[in-house]
Structure 1
């Protein structure tokens, strides 16, 4: 059974994956940040997080092009810090990518429940998993082409939303009571800025997932930098436009704790029965589908890479007759579906299920960002001759900014989300126990592979 993925993706496919992984973050999830920070406080949070992501992507691209591997951050940290470093980055990335899809699936359920109130949103979410796991199993090029189409439609729809609500926009609405706790910047406002970090991260979460398609990219040293740089610029511009225009059409507080802020913002301008509003509800699904589908592609490649390296069961690295990691796709889906139906999670720290899952995914993301930037610094010293077709601009300042902001965000998230943080640490501990328990098995497997390689080399002249 093959354990190698085939390169079939070009620049536009990779841009579609990079933006599509994230685009649902423009449609829902971020508005919970208004509930804890206010519009102005959350604007500050988003500026900080957008700075982190921009610096991170310009730095991360150096790693992706130098080490085009399906494991992405797992592969970079493993090369920089050995097996333990690879484990930390790999399990963090896995938590991020396995926990993001159920939040998106529930948003898909919420959107469709508006049109079909008799159907349980959780059953819609379950159906979404079945459909898009199947699409990913059929083939990566088909999956990536679908991803590109729905991503383009989702971007167009966001631009349509901005154009439709623009006549009702007032900046005075956006700034009214814009600081948490009062009308003025205060200690409460500062607290809100830090508490809102996970929801600002949701604007950009998972863009790095395109790295996990690097083995399937044509000419990755050229296509990946183009896809990443245009992708992050696309997302930063859209995030600020959507947030500001949605908050300026009326009472923004009514949008701060719901899963469909854009349809509700448009409703305030055009009314309940407008064709524009119904179009947004339906076409808005493209944004959710793009991210849901793209992150399934991302988590499956991470599980595949960890299984191939022996950090997870080797059976998860098997490929289907379509040359896709079907077992990894199904395994991540089972975990995500279990999260959707784990109602007990709803009561964690008084959060909704969506907010709790978003926060868990953000913990994984931030730890992975920290490990990736540390790997960049380490590899610059330990591997000076590594073939780097793209170099992080402004080194060491740009990657340093990404690293510092990521560390601050990680600490702040633990302070404001102690229970979820403890559960996150629990996942790391369980993973580390498995990592230690399988150490001998991994070493034995690597030694056998080295012996096989030596035999092949020794026998080569006899067959030449």
Structure 2
């Protein structure tokens, strides 16, 4: 498919390495601000540290492997396109729908956190109303243009990183390892069988530290030089995020009684409050600048979900009208709005998604994780299959340590999916129900896809 910005129905190729790095880190950086602390409720601080290190290993090996797919098949559909190449339309459907669930369910969780942060400064402001306002503002910004959106993403990402460093610096003088380690094994002071269960139960919240970094793949058609810029963005991004995740988690846990931070949407302001008090200017600065981290991810994931909806609609896997490109801005405006509608509905779905003893935010995070893990499995399987079936595919970047490195990522993702399913059976059922409904549409529209020869430049395959 052409990426000529002037071509009808095409996206504008205008993103450089720094902008892609900004998207890679920005997509994820809200995970350093909230969501992860729910893992402490299950595993304790020490147990969750083990969970996070294991998940970081999975993500590191995954990104080094996933980059081969992104550079060899630079398509807006990302994992959808890779699985289509490897396994045909059904594989494409599964990977595309899994990615869509990941990217559509992550923004409402972030929007609720934005509302919680604003509520700290404006107690009379309903967090849900603030969350809806965030959707309206950043959907509009994404519609206006990808270059403007990506430049904004880079700026707020840099500010978010600065703020995390400020948080660690302010909290450091009051840090106590004794605070961090107290009750650190699932609420106990010593390791036990309950600690093992907690370590596994906390997997979704460790994944939240890194979830969505793969979304850079969905901007591949809009990269100026994807074969060079995307590997640099991915490698730099994952290293940045691992360092920040470890620093934030350890410093917050050592600030005081970490159990007070385990089930809230704003753990960093509350951790800083333990050190500097409620009236400190540092606290107010953290709340305001902390919004940059949430905004960076929220804004970036809107970019990601819109490209996924756009790619699947263009291929006939979703209604075709969702694949329209704005005639002036060259952005998938209908896809942006459609994902926002679903996200706003999720924000107000307390009765539907608040179950299993977890908060609405925790369940939305876990639903997003289900989609991510299935997509990771299919992507790594696609890498192995394409190495066998298309050895001549142009690969400017090859996964290091093949086949061991991608095998570690694949094994880790399978273990994580089994574990998350075991601890969240009701959400697993809802996830499967969404896949089933989507599959029914996929089968019902088989004839239209066959007639249209879907996927643009990708060759159609039998279903």
Shorter-chain-normalised TM-score: which range? over 0.9
Name segments (4+ residues, structure 1) moved above 3 Å.
Answer: none
Find out whether 1:345 has 2:364 as its counterpart: no
Unaligned regions of 5+ residues in structure 1, if any? 451-464
Distance 1:413 1:247 in 2: 24
Q: How far is 1:117 from its partner?
A: 1.5
Contact 1:304 1:325 (C-alpha < 8 Å) held by counterparts: yes
Contact 2:353 2:364 (C-alpha < 8 Å) held by counterparts: no
Secondary structure of 1:250's aligned partner: coil
Distance 1:400 1:205 in 2: 19
Partner of 1:378: 385
Q: How far is 1:181 from its partner?
A: 4.8
Find out whether 1:112 has 2:135 as its counterpart: no
Partner of 1:394: 401
Partner of 2:461: none
Question: Which aligned pairs between 1:319-338 and structure 2 lie closer than 5 A?
Answer: 319-320=325-326, 321-338=328-345
Partner of 2:155: 149
Partner of 1:460: none
Distance 2:36 2:166 in 1: 19
Question: Which aligned pairs between 1:193-272 and structure 2 lie closer than 5 A?
Answer: 193-272=199-278
Structure number with greater Rg is 1
Q: Which region of structure 1 is more displaced relative to structure 2, 175-184 or 124-133?
A: 175-184
Distance 2:122 2:227 in 1: 46
Distance 1:225 1:19 in 2: 13
Partner of 2:3: none
Contact 1:3 1:308 (C-alpha < 8 Å) held by counterparts: no
2:27 to 1, 17, 21: 21
Unaligned regions of 5+ residues in structure 2, if any? 1-6, 458-463
Q: How many residue pairs are counted as aligned between the two chains?
A: 449
Secondary structure of 2:186's aligned partner: coil
Partner of 1:462: none
Partner of 2:315: 309
Distance 1:213 1:263 in 2: 33
Distance 1:219 1:129 in 2: 31
Q: How far is 1:347 from its partner?
A: 2.9
Partner of 2:49: 43
Distance 1:122 1:266 in 2: 24
Q: How far is 1:404 from its partner?
A: 0.2
2:285 to 279, 284, 293: 279
Partner of 1:364: 371
Partner of 1:124: 130
RMSD: 1.1
Secondary structure of 2:354's aligned partner: helix
Find out whether 1:62 has 2:71 as its counterpart: no
Secondary structure of 1:350's aligned partner: coil
Partner of 1:436: 443
Partner of 1:78: 84
Deviations along 1:237-295, one digit per CA (max 9) or x if unpaired, are 00000000100111111111111110111111111111111100000000000000000
1:411 to 407, 418, 435: 418
Distance 1:135 1:52 in 2: 33
Contact 1:174 1:248 (C-alpha < 8 Å) held by counterparts: yes
Secondary structure of 2:302's aligned partner: helix
Distance 2:431 2:451 in 1: 31
Q: How far is 1:3 from its partner?
A: 2.0
Contact 1:345 1:356 (C-alpha < 8 Å) held by counterparts: no
Deviations along 1:206-247, one digit per CA (max 9) or x if unpaired, are 000011000000110000000000000000000000000100
Q: TM-score, normalised by structure 2?
A: 0.96
Q: Which has the higher helix share?
A: 1
